[in-house]
Amino acid sequence: MKNTSFISFFVVLLSVVSACHPQRGQQEAGDLNVNRRVSENYLPPVFEHDARVDKIRELEPAIRELIEDYSVSRHIPGVAYGIVVDNQLILASASGSGNIELDRPATIRSSFRIASMTKSFTAMAILKLRDEGKLSLTDPAATYIPEMAGLEYLTEDSPPITIANLLTMTAGFPEDNPWGDRQLEEPDQWLLDLITGGLSFSEPTSYGYEYSNTGYAILGHIISVVAGIPFQDYISENILVPLHMEHTYWEVDSVPEEQLVQGYRWEDDQWKTEPMLHDGSYGAMGGLVTSIEDFSKYVSFHLSAWPPRSDPDNGPVKRATLREMQTPQFCRLYAGATGWDDQPCAQMTGYGFGLRITEDCNGMTFAGHGGALPGFGSNYIFFPEYGIGLMAFCNLTYTSPWPLEEIVNIIFNQADVEKRSLPVSEILLERQMQVVDLIRDWDGETEHEILAENFFMDRSRDHRIAETREILERAGSILSVGAMHPENQLRGRFDLTAAHGKIHVFFTLTPEKDPKVQQLSLSYQPDNSTE
């Protein structure tokens, strides 16, 4: 299926987060159910000044104009789109035609084929089976599909293909767009015969990422084998139904006629109908048909994984499993990438489990996936730290449904939405006041109470005191203590306002039960008028 996700729509292939770990150890079955002690003091990040819904709704006319102008310029027959904030579809609309011949308009309830956006559902089903103890991500694929044992690898040192390889597109299979699209409706036996006949490799296994529809078709068959029912039924019963996605389908013939969107291509200055492909073994890589209204529930579910917290966890899969899906693998640096405002902004990007994830030069993280099939183009992207998700579908072959970078630029620049802020932990607040006392007086009692054993080993006490006093002499008397800005529960920074400028203070605490100060850094910023 065409890999037209959000980055290929503007300059580079977009996708992944800052911390990229090749094949990092996944949680195995049972880990999430172990009885363990949980802190009663942890405070998750919160939206301090939360006007996101009102701000985004005010942008509706501008967003609608962007999408409609884009559709006209790209000869898109019909498009539907929506914006989710947390668990609510706050903005949704459609324009154009869902079926030209029948003069049927596109609506937010129209059923579009979403192509490769299906992959994250397949990945979620695999992880659900993993969480239930029915498979391991480190299992060789041949454990469940014996035909895989007969493959001819490129090198002697290529490890056997595992389920994790298939999830992260690192099995070594070649990129198979658009060939894979045309296999959508082939039966299961056709897929097994393909494997038995031998698959070609473009890379050694686990060597690197390459987008593979075939890999996700194989995952679908593994789900069928492990669950004992077709993967379509397993995903429907265990993901779609719990999320109340009652208008999401695998087979186009199952869609009510008045909802089904017809796909087109633009050729010879006219729209020509594309064949409506049916469901089959490759459905796991791109077979789902859904509406904006229904798909918004799935986007909300992914956003619900953030922030980590101690609330009841009753989704089709656990919040930790969702966050695992959103963790990138085999990251690549795109140094020449541009941001939403078309300015240079490097990005780290990679593939998670059925999702693409990116962290840009400004530290903004976003995840999602695109999709395309003959007659259709789709895309969704969500911003975990902001609780915002965007989605759009259209009915033109291999076409991005929207001007994504312009829409995101409007939301994050014009609306000026804010991300969650982490409250200050009790221990950081306590240590902050003690650090202030230490800076002012540097007495032995405070030292003994708050400094870790390494503190004077790293730099002698005399040097520490001399450096602190030198800064205080330049800064003058301390007038006020600024707010603590936490980086996490045990690390943060704050400012001291002094007579002649500011003293920037950073400290980090040890992992001991009673955390001590292991690192303390001071820097002086004078007022322009004083130095």
pLDDT score of 341: 81
Residue 227 has pLDDT above 80, yes or no: yes
d(CA 359, CA 389) in angstroms, rounded, equals: 16
Alpha helices in 59-212, H assignment, sequence order: 60-74, 119-131, 163-167, 188-197
pLDDT, tens digit, 9 for 90 and up, residues 49-60? 899 999 999 999
The tokens for 455 are 């503190």
Spatial CA neighbour of 209 closest among 85, 327, 350, 73: 350
pLDDT score of 12: 35
Angle at CA of residue 142, ends 140 and 144, nearest 5° = 100
- Are 25 and 333 spatial neighbours (Cβ–Cβ below 8 Å)? no
The tokens for 65 are 């104009």
pLDDT, tens digit, 9 for 90 and up, residues 354-405? 999 999 999 999 999 999 999 999 999 999 999 999 999 999 999 999 999 9
- Are 219 and 173 spatial neighbours (Cβ–Cβ below 8 Å)? no
d(CA 336, CA 13) in angstroms, rounded, equals: 11
Selecting from 3.30.365.10, 3.40.630.30, 3.40.710.10, 1.20.1250.20, what CATH number does the domain 46-280+287-414 have? 3.40.710.10
Residue 10 has pLDDT above 70, yes or no: no
The domain spans of the chain are: 46-280+287-414, 426-526
- Average pLDDT score over residue span 437-456: 94
d(CA 197, CA 15) in angstroms, rounded, equals: 34
Residue 13 has pLDDT above 50, yes or no: no
d(CA 194, CA 221) in angstroms, rounded, equals: 13
pLDDT, tens digit, 9 for 90 and up, residues 112-150? 999 999 999 999 999 999 999 999 999 999 999 999 999
The tokens for 245 are 């996605």
Exposure of 483 by Cβ count < 10 A (0-12 exposed, 13-18 middle, 19+ buried)? exposed
- Are 78 and 96 spatial neighbours (Cβ–Cβ below 8 Å)? yes
pLDDT, tens digit, 9 for 90 and up, residues 282-330? 999 999 999 999 999 999 999 999 999 999 999 999 999 999 999 999 8
- Are 375 and 113 spatial neighbours (Cβ–Cβ below 8 Å)? yes
Selecting from 3.30.160, 2.40.160, 1.20.120, 3.10.450, what CATH number does the domain 426-526 have? 3.10.450
Alpha helices in 283-409, H assignment, sequence order: 283-286, 292-303, 319-325, 404-409
pLDDT score of 20: 63
Q: How far is CA 42 from CA 19, 38, 474, 488, 493, in A?
A: 23, 9, 38, 11, 19
The tokens for 229 are 């029912």
DSSP 304: T
pLDDT score of 1: 52
Common-topology check for domains 46-280+287-414 and 426-526:
no
3-state secondary structure 485-498: EEEECCEEEEEEEE
pTM of the model as a whole: 0.92
